[in-house]
Amino acid sequence: MDTIFQHRTIRKYKSDPISDEILEKILSAASRASTTGNMQVYSIIVTRNEELKKQLWEAHFKQNMVLEAPVLLTFCADFNRFNKWCRLRKAEPGYDNFLSFFTAAIDALLAAQNAALEAEYHGLGICYLGTTTYMAKRIIEILQIPKGVVPVTTLVIGYPNENPPLTDRLPLRAIVHNETYNDFSEEEINQIYYDKENMPFYQELVKLNNTETLAQIFTEKRYTKKDNIAFSKALLDVLYQQGFMNNE
Amino acid sequence: MDTIFQHRTIRKYKSDPISDEILEKILSAASRASTTGNMQVYSIIVTRNEELKKQLWEAHFKQNMVLEAPVLLTFCADFNRFNKWCRLRKAEPGYDNFLSFFTAAIDALLAAQNAALEAEYHGLGICYLGTTTYMAKRIIEILQIPKGVVPVTTLVIGYPNENPPLTDRLPLRAIVHNETYNDFSEEEINQIYYDKENMPFYQELVKLNNTETLAQIFTEKRYTKKDNIAFSKALLDVLYQQGFMNNE
């Protein structure tokens, strides 16, 4: 459908507010997504307050769109509400483990994508913040998130103040496998990445970053092993802290 | 948008095939979803072969819709292709850790929801299989999935052979929090679950299951602590096996 095929990530926003009516549509759309056993083990924190947004902006590596856009939606894997309900109904919940965290994360992410598409359908722009998992511990403090709840992604939402082209994508055969997984030969990798590596935009980026290859921008600048290990430890610590690693 | 608000999970399918044209639209829609740093660290395995579907049916707890529906899409967190590209471009990938797995899982799940909505837009029905994470190890064998790749969810897709009503949802205030997380009092939990607990469908279900409360169906029958712990261990084992737990 058009909304899906016209998606582009927006990084510059107007300060125009989002009406309550449209925001409710976005949140309702999120609530219609598939959810494991209809447990709805996720939550959405809507932040519009300037002081809170400033704190979240700091947590999200000071990306300016966090301050510019009028609404932030923080999507959380959430067994807190469900556990409370169980305990009030003579049912002992066993949802303090890794599987339950991942199940709840799936719920949260499917809901997030519904919200993103509904927002775009109403002419709004969106951006996902990957920094949510890196900085989960700090976000938990800012948004006063209790045990049993872990933020997994954030949507920045607002009216676009830029009109970027569609983002390039690898050819479908890079992501689609027929019947079983068909692993890639060197020749196939070269073919799949040929167009991307020859786009003037990426060739310029390689020059600007002073690397020899495009791949090195990812491994040496953007997503380094050192950062990934630090953030892995931090995220696993958060899973322990929030009560999702009682796996025995 | 209508497609989102009309979603219902379909569990009975006609055997009618899905045309290549529509299937390509569904896969293209998946590829337009947001992806971390435009790395596209996910993959989709399209299974239509009857023998493979039978093996997957066994893995997915013998749910008959897996055999009935013409197409299964297994969505995987996938750093394999990206790692291969890096190594062929003098770039040493540092993506064998938990953060990278979770990043790739987010990519896979956002793509899955786009695919689900595009399928529904074309009149198809869908169902997500939670059994994918429970049985990831077996699915990896069946679909010949290499290291660096973990299946995170499966979409069953086909023409509906039933027309169920919209699924009930908790009121929005159960999942939406204003500014920060507003934890629930006993009174609020009772209010949020009042309508659900008083629906004839669920009251009948409690009788059928011979439990005292609806919550007990979840904790004692459907999602028990014992199962969750066993599946948590299995999923963590898969993360080690597939090379995503080198966090030091």
pLDDT tens, position by position, A126-180: 999 999 999 999 999 999 999 999 999 999 999 999 999 999 999 999 999 999 9
Q: Identify the architecture of domain B2-164 in CATH.
A: 3-Layer(aba) Sandwich (3.40)
With CB atoms and an 8 Å threshold, state whether A168 touches B38: yes
For residue B54, the chain A residues in CB contact (below 8 A) are none
Dihedral, CA atoms, B223, B229, B231, B232, nearest 10 degrees?
120
ipTM over 0.95: yes
| Integer Cα distance of A136 and A198 in angstroms | 37
* pLDDT for residue A228: 98
E strands, B35-109, in order: 42-47, 71-78
With CB atoms and an 8 Å threshold, state whether A225 touches B183: no
* pLDDT for residue A238: 98
For residue B130, the chain A residues in CB contact (below 8 A) are 36-37, 103, 106
| Integer Cα distance of A134 and B100 in angstroms | 11
Who contacts B168 (Cβ-Cβ below 8 Å, separation ≥6)? A38, B195, B196, B199, B201
Chain A's closest residue to B246, CA to CA, is A229
* pLDDT for residue B160: 98
Chain B's closest residue to A143, CA to CA, is B180
- Cβ(B124)–Cβ(B8) under 8 Å? no
| Integer Cα distance of B157 and B189 in angstroms | 35
Q: What are phi and psi of A150, to 5 degrees?
A: -135, 125
Q: State the count of interchain CB pairs (< 8 A) between A and B.
A: 351
Dihedral, CA atoms, A106, A82, B63, B125, nearest 10 degrees?
-60
| Integer Cα distance of A47 and B79 in angstroms | 33
Under the banding of pLDDT at 50, 70 and 90, the label for residue A23 is: very high
- Inter-CA distances, A46 with A24, A26, A41, A67, B177, Å: 11, 11, 17, 14, 6
Chain A's closest residue to B148, CA to CA, is A183
* pLDDT for residue B168: 97
* pLDDT for residue B155: 98
Percent of chain A with pLDDT over 90: 100
* pLDDT for residue A60: 98
| Angstroms from A36 CA to nearest CA on chain B | 7
Q: Is A50 helix (H, G, I), strand (E, B) or coil?
A: helix
* pLDDT for residue A193: 98
Torsional sign, CA B4, B5, B11, B13:
negative
Who contacts B172 (Cβ-Cβ below 8 Å, separation ≥6)? A24, A27, A28, A31
Question: Tokens representing A119?
Answer: 């927002």
Mean pLDDT computed over B12-30:
97
- Cβ(B76)–Cβ(B107) under 8 Å? no
- Inter-CA distances, A62 with A116, A126, B153, Å: 22, 17, 33
Q: Is A88 helix (H, G, I), strand (E, B) or coil?
A: helix
- Cβ(B60)–Cβ(A188) under 8 Å? no
With CB atoms and an 8 Å threshold, state whether A86 touches B133: no
- Inter-CA distances, B99 with A67, A130, A237, B42, B102, Å: 26, 11, 12, 14, 5
Who contacts B113 (Cβ-Cβ below 8 Å, separation ≥6)? A33, A109, A110, A113, A114, B33
| Angstroms from B200 CA to nearest CA on chain A | 16
Residue B33: which of A132, A179, A109 has the closest Cα? A109
With CB atoms and an 8 Å threshold, state whether A177 touches B44: yes
Percent of chain B with pLDDT over 90: 100
* pLDDT for residue A165: 95
Q: Model confidence over A99-136: pLDDT tens digits?
A: 999 999 999 999 999 999 999 999 999 999 999 999 99
B48 burial type by CB count under 10 A (0-12 exposed, 13-18 middle, 19+ buried): middle
- Cβ(B100)–Cβ(A218) under 8 Å? no
Helix or strand (DSSP H, E) at B238: helix B225-241
- Cβ(A1)–Cβ(B121) under 8 Å? yes
Q: Tell me the CATH number for domain A2-165.
A: 3.40.109.10
Question: Concatenated DSSP letters for B128-165?
Answer: EETHHHHTHHHHHHHTT--TTEEEEEEEEEE-BS--PP
Who contacts A15 (Cβ-Cβ below 8 Å, separation ≥6)? A68, A70, A158
With CB atoms and an 8 Å threshold, state whether A235 touches B99: yes
* pLDDT for residue A49: 98
With CB atoms and an 8 Å threshold, state whether B121 touches A1: yes
**DSSP assignment, residue B33?**
S
The rounded Cα B21 to chain-centroid distance in angstroms is 24
Beta-strand pair A176-178/B42-47 = parallel
Domain assignments of chain B as residue spans, ordered by start: 2-164
Order of strands across the sheet that contains B125-129: A176-178, B42-47, B71-78, B149-158, B125-129
